[in-house]
Structure 1
Amino acid sequence: MKRNKTISITKVPEKNKENLITDKWDKKLNDYDNYVKEYLLHYKKSLKGNTMSLSKYPYLKVKSESLNKKLNKGIMKKLLTKKQLIKVFNIRKKIVSACCN
Structure 2
Amino acid sequence: MKILPIIAGLILLVPLANAESVEEQYKKACFVCHDTGVANAPKVHDVEAWKPRLEKGMDALLNSVKNGLNAMPPGGMCTGCSDEEYKALIQYMSSPQQ
Instruction: Place the TM-score, normalised by the shorter chain, in its bin.
Output: 0.3 to 0.5
**TM-score (normalizing by structure 2):** 0.34
Larger radius of gyration between Structure 1 and Structure 2: 1
More helix by share: 1
Q: Taking CA–CA contacts closer than 8 Å with sequence separation of 6 or more, which of the two structures ends up with the larger relative contact order?
A: 1
Query: What TM-score comes out, normalization by structure 1 length?
Result: 0.33
